[in-house]
Amino acid sequence: MDWQSKTHFFSVSNLSVKYGGICAVNQISLDVSEGEIVALLGANGAGKSSTLSAITGTCTIASGEIWFLGERIDTLLPSDRVRKGIVLCPEGRRIFPHLTVLENLYAGAFLQKNTLHIENQLQKVYQLFPVLAQRSTQSGRTLSGGEQQMLAIGRALMSFPKLLLLDEPSLGLAPVVAQKIFQTIHELRTIGVSMLLVEQNAKAALELADRAYVLETGKIVKSGHCSELKNDPAIQSAYLGG
């Protein structure tokens, strides 16, 4: 990798992920600049979630490099990647259903030591999602699907992310609730959170993000600014119903 790639805020170079003899991610390279929202698009099985797993360290990479803030991180433990500011909001929310909303949020801050910073961050989460403050003593399982997604994002924010990985944040949500989630993602940029967004609603993702990469069977087949990709006939046909 050249020195310019190393100085990116975040970059992946020639990354491959294999499960047995199957190559789920095949020699992909991508980057995210500070303050940017980048979308990762593709059909089910294209390799999107495997890419996120490689970035977080929850799967072993077959080859390639992952760089963050000038440091190679692909050999670090998942917890060390969180400490450096790479945080995943997983597909399916995966909140702790028997814990209260507040306990779920505090769980996101488990690596943090400064009590004042934790409490300040909690208030920021409550400002983004007032319903979580109202439901703070309720167990996670009593929340609606949309509220659980808000809780999942809030829990991720309690880890003080510099790069937030969002895996299908609108999946299974009613359109009006999904729109609220998208609005919040847009607001996160204003508080200094860069994002890599995996989202099955390609139209919304292209409206929200600055740039996008398109994965097909583990390979990046297209990339560019979202304004360009929205007008690409192949993208319109495959993902936008045009």
pLDDT digits (tens, 9 = 90+) for 204-214: 999 999 999 99
The span from the CA of 217 to the CA of 94, in Å, is 26
Q: Where are the beta strands (DSSP E) in the chain?
A: 10-19, 22-32, 37-41, 63-68, 71-72, 86-89, 163-167, 194-198, 211-216, 219-225
Question: How many structural domains compose the chain?
Answer: 1
* pLDDT < 70 regions, the chain: 1-7, 92, 241-242
Instruction: Say if CB 218 and CB 212 are below 8 A apart.
Output: no
What residue type is assigned to position 146 of the chain? G
CATH of the domain at 84: 3.40.50.300
Q: By residue range, what is the domain housing residue 15?
A: 3-239
pLDDT given at position 139: 93
pLDDT given at position 4: 43
pLDDT given at position 94: 84
pLDDT given at position 1: 39
pLDDT given at position 104: 93
pLDDT given at position 3: 35
